[in-house]
Amino acid sequence: MSAVLFGKERDPIMQHSDSLLNKIKKAGKTEYKIHGLLDLSFFWSDYDTAKAFYYIRQAERLMPVQRMDNYHRGLLAFYQGAAYFDAEPEIAKRKYLEAEKYLVKSRRPLALRYRVRLWGSYGALLQRGGHADEYVRVLLNKAIPLAKQIADTALVANNYQNVALVLMNQQQYNKAGEYYSQALMLLRYQSAAHEERLTAFVNYARNALFNNQQELARKLLDSAVLIVSKVPSSAYLPMYYSVEGTYWQKAGQKQKALSCFEKGLNAASRLGTNHLTNYILYEEFRLHKSSHDLVAARNVLHRVLEYVSRGNSLHDKQAVYYDLAQTESEMGNYKVATHWYEQYKLATDTLITKAGADRVLELEKKFQTAEKENELLKLKTHNQHQQIALERNKMLVTVLTGIALLAVVISIMIYKSHQHRKRLAIQKEKLLKEELKTIKQQEQIHLYNAMVQGQEKERNRIARDLHDGLGGMLAGVKLKLSAFATKIESNTVNNTDMELYHVISQLDHSVSELRRIARNMMPESLLYMGLEPALRDLCQSMNTESLRVTFEAFNLRTDYHQPFLIAIYRIVQELLTNAVKHAEASAVMVQASEHEGRFYITIEDDGKGFDPDIAGTDGGIGFSNIRTRVEILKGTMEVKTERGVGSTFNIDVSIHE
């Protein structure tokens, strides 16, 4: 896992390392310093294995050796596994299993989090060994249940992404898309998880391109670019540019694709990530090959070969040799092509030989294990004979002791039975009180629901009367005044006539305002076109020079029943009105989505925010009205805000049919 750092590539890595060291020096408690040194070791495991082990030893010196507990033993084994990850995969797997043995005995809350990480890493090593299905099983049966146990949605989402990646590599694109969608659903409320959301959007877009879903890929990439500005130094930035380039390649825009690949290579160079550099260069090679620019394709392959030659992966070298041979052959350079075919054949033979040697070692290990098991079986048989003799002597003592214990147990059972009946009576009384309270709350909700439905019916009637009645009357008056004005000859226009034109203009504005009010009271797009077009129209209608409102929708249906449509529309309308009137925002983002019978709304603004305590009261900024509508829909509303940094509203409601 070691890597040589030269020139500009060293600067950002050393800067990050120095930043972590400064935090460790400022840490007060020894426990904080231990975790800081281990995290620094984890960072260096990607670049310099020797430094990774150095910081592990530094952390171990701070641990109490005589009374080292299971938690700290597990930590050391986990970070040692991370340091061995690339250089010695088999040792790394043993270290991860050793860490699990210690951490599963620890009661510290952090032990669960490390167990999630170690199973994820262990599974990744299985995948590298060609056991992708086992990796998926480890994620679904080990890592994800543990992440759910500690209620860390970001961690669960990351493991869903790992499952999706394996399925995508197995070309199960539809199934992979389902897991990517679940990951994004879990991350929608994690406003600080920019890195995780960027990774999810980019990988989902990549999967969509593999599945020939260009339109979905475009939406996902547009969402990803909004996050890129928030994490400009992200380690996943090269992959974003690579997928963006692949999108333009499929769209037939070669220059745009090359521009994206170049940006990705620059980002990978700054981060010192050679494997991403190789990946992007191969995408560029395929682009030139598909456009029959064989010279450019060959030049890119030689750049890949420079990186591959520094590593120890024969599989990578084998692939480059083969593509060079094919390209040179297509160009008519058969002598050069023969050279690369020889290199390819040599790498293939070496891989076959190595695989055979590994198989022999595996069989030897199995034989040695079987021999040890036979010896253990003999010892076990001898011990069983001795144990039988001891058991006979203990039997009599056990019977006498059992009789005495039986009397004690019967007494305890009688006492516990009495206590149990007493507790049941108390619980029944509590359940009765809770049931009465629930009935009262339901009555209040039904009453409010009836009132809201009455208000909506009255709004609908007033809107219809305004539009059809008063609107028609005003339009008729305007037509008559306009007809009267046209009879006046141009050479006889006086001040009185000009006043008439002013009256006609004001009447025109009044008709427009009347129709706007009627639409707001009961928008026609909501009733005739559905929820998504109505919300999009609402957002567009609020766009001004000083306010930009964006709207995104995922998986929305067109057959929601009318009360649900109106409730959702009024909630969004109220929150947008608050953002304009009270928050003084310049940008607002509205997201709406549906997943497994639940409807999700997220509204973020960059306004001036407000006191979070206001969100918990019944009054102020329309919260009472919004919360009551959410309660009617059996949902919850989460408000994140503070003064000067904007506000985020996350609403989760049930879809009633």
Q: Are 94 and 365 spatial neighbours (Cβ–Cβ below 8 Å)?
A: no
Model pLDDT for residues 145-203, shown as the tens digit of each residue:
988 888 888 888 888 888 998 889 889 999 999 998 998 888 887 777 888 888 889 99
More confident residue, 558 or 486: 558
pLDDT for 119: 92
- Residue 252 pLDDT > 60, yes or no? yes
Whole-number pLDDT of residue 69: 85
Kindly tell me the burial class for residue 354, based on how many C-beta atoms sit within 10 Å of its own C-beta (0-12, 13-18, 19 or more): exposed
Predicted local confidence at residue 307, as pLDDT: 77
Please state, in angstroms and rounded to a whole number, the distance separating the CA atoms of residues 514 and 519. Answer: 9
**pLDDT above 70: percentage of residues in the chain:** 75
Cβ 286 vs Cβ 246: under 8 Å = no
- Residue 622, pLDDT above cutoff 70: no
Which has more pLDDT, 301 or 466?
Answer: 301
The overall longest dimension of the chain from CA atoms, in Å, is: 133
Edge-to-edge, what's the strand order for the sheet holding 587-595?
548-554, 587-595, 598-605, 647-654, 636-641
pLDDT at 284: 85
Residues 580/520, Cβ–Cβ less than 8 Å: no
pLDDT at residue 8 in the model: 38
Segment 522-544 shows an average pLDDT of 81
- The pLDDT value recorded for residue 51 is 86
Please report which confidence band the pLDDT of residue 18 belongs to, taking 50, 70 and 90 as the band edges.
confident
Pairwise CA distance, residues 193 & 116, whole Å: 18
According to the model, what pLDDT value does residue 85 have? 86
Task: Give me 385's structure tokens.
Answer: 């004979």
Rounded to whole angstroms, the Cα distance separating 64 from 47 reads 29
Q: How far is CA 507 from CA 467, 488, 494, in A?
A: 15, 19, 20
CA angle at residue 419 from 415 to 420, to 5 degrees?
115
Residue 614 is predicted with a pLDDT of 62
Mean pLDDT (whole number) for 609-630: 69
Which residues are CB-contacts of 551 (< 8 A; sequence separation ≥ 6)? 535, 536, 539, 540, 590, 591, 592
The tokens of 296 are what?
């450019």
% of the chain surpassing 90 pLDDT: 13
**What gap in Å lies between CA 42 and CA 79, rounded to an integer?**
7
pLDDT tens track for 318-362: 888 888 888 888 888 888 889 888 888 887 887 777 655 555 455
Which pLDDT score, from 0 to 100, does residue 155 have?
84
Tokens at residue 217, please? 């890929």
Determine the distance from the C-alpha atom of residue 626 to the mean position of all C-alpha atoms in its chain, rounded to a whole number: 28
Q: Kindly tell me if the per-residue pLDDT of 42 is higher than 80.
A: yes
The secondary element (H helix, E strand) that includes residue 595 is strand 587-595
Q: What is the pLDDT of residue 150?
A: 84
44 pLDDT more than 60: yes
Amino acid letter, residue 341: Y
**Residue 309 above 70 pLDDT?**
yes
Enter the DSSP assignment of 491: G
Question: What's the rounded Cα separation, in Å, for the pair 279 and 208?
Answer: 18
- What pLDDT is stored for residue 7 in this prediction? 38
pLDDT score at 653: 92
DSSP class of residue 130? T
pLDDT (0 to 100) of residue 6? 35
* Count of all residues that appear for the chain in the document: 657
pLDDT for 66 equals 59
Neighbours of 212 (CB within 10 A): 10
At residue 530, the pLDDT reads 83
At position 18, the amino acid (one-letter code) is: D
* pTM summary value: 0.47
**Computed over its alpha carbons, how large is the radius of gyration of the chain?**
35
pLDDT recorded at residue 5:
37
- Dihedral of CA atoms 125, 128, 130, 131 in degrees, nearest 10, equals 30
Which residues is 652 bridged to in the sheet? 600, 636
The identity of residue 319, as a single letter, is A
Using alpha carbons only, give the angle 342, 346, 348 rounded to the nearest 5 degrees. 115
Please give the pLDDT value at position 91: 92
First to last CA, the chain: 56
Question: What is the spatial distance between Cα 575 and Cα 638, in angstroms, rounded to a whole number?
Answer: 13
Q: What is the C-alpha separation between 514 and 464, in angstroms, rounded?
A: 11
Provide the angle, in degrees to the nearest 10, between the axes of the packed helices 214-228 and 237-250: 150
Q: Residue 656 — pLDDT band, cuts 50, 70, 90?
A: low
Tens digits of residue pLDDT in 577-600: 888 888 788 899 999 999 888 999
Distance of CA 341 to the CA centre of its chain: 44
Residue ranges of the alpha helices (H) in 487-542?
A: 495-521, 524-528, 531-541
Sign, Cα dihedral of 193, 198, 201, 207: negative
Q: Is the pLDDT of residue 506 over 90?
A: no
Average the pLDDT over 293-306 and give the result.
87
Residue 109 has pLDDT above 90, yes or no: no
pLDDT at 97 over 90: yes
DSSP 465: I
pLDDT level of residue 507 (50, 70, 90 thresholds): low
List residues bridging with 602 in a β-sheet: 591, 650
Residue with the two structure tokens 């083969």:
322
The tens digit of pLDDT for each residue in 596-606 reads 889 999 999 98
pLDDT digits (tens, 9 = 90+) for 199-231: 889 999 999 999 999 999 999 988 888 888 888
3-class SS at 151? Answer: coil
- Among 180-184, 452-456, 571-575, name the one with the lowest average pLDDT: 452-456
Look at residue 503 and give its three-state secondary structure.
Answer: helix
Give start and end residues of each alpha helix (H) in 104-236.
109-128, 132-138, 144-149, 153-169, 173-187, 194-210, 214-228
- pLDDT of 527 strictly over 60: yes
Q: What angle do CA 396, 402, 407 make, to 5 degrees?
A: 145
- Residue pair 485/501 in contact (Cβ under 8 Å)? The answer is yes
Reduced to 3 states (helix: H, G, I; strand: E, B; else coil), residue 522 is: coil
Long-range CB contacts for residues 340-343, cutoff 8 Å, separation at least 24: 343/317
CA–CA separation, 228 and 237 (whole Å): 7
Kindly indicate the confidence band of residue 404, based on its pLDDT and cuts at 50, 70 and 90: confident
User: How far is the C-alpha of 539 from the C-alpha of 532, rounded, in Å?
Assistant: 11
- Tell me: pLDDT of 574 over 60: yes
Mean pLDDT of the 474-497 span? 58
Res. 415: pLDDT tops 50: yes
Print burial letters for 603-617: b (CB count within 10 Å at least 16), e (below 16). bbbbbebbeeeebee
DSSP per position, 544-584: -SS-EEEEEEES--S---HHHHHHHHHHHHHHHHHHHHTS-
| Strand-strand pairing, 548-554 and 587-595 | parallel
Mean pLDDT of the chain: 79
Q: What is the pLDDT of residue 651?
A: 94
User: Using 50, 70 and 90 to split pLDDT, how confident is the model at 465?
Assistant: low
Task: Please write the tens of the pLDDT for every residue from 120-147.
Answer: 899 888 888 888 888 889 888 988 898 8
Nearest C-alpha neighbor of 241 from the set 266, 216, 271: 266
- How far apart are the C-alpha atoms of 146 and 21, rounded to whole Å? 31
pLDDT at 68 over 60: yes
Instruction: List the structure tokens of 194.
Output: 């920019």
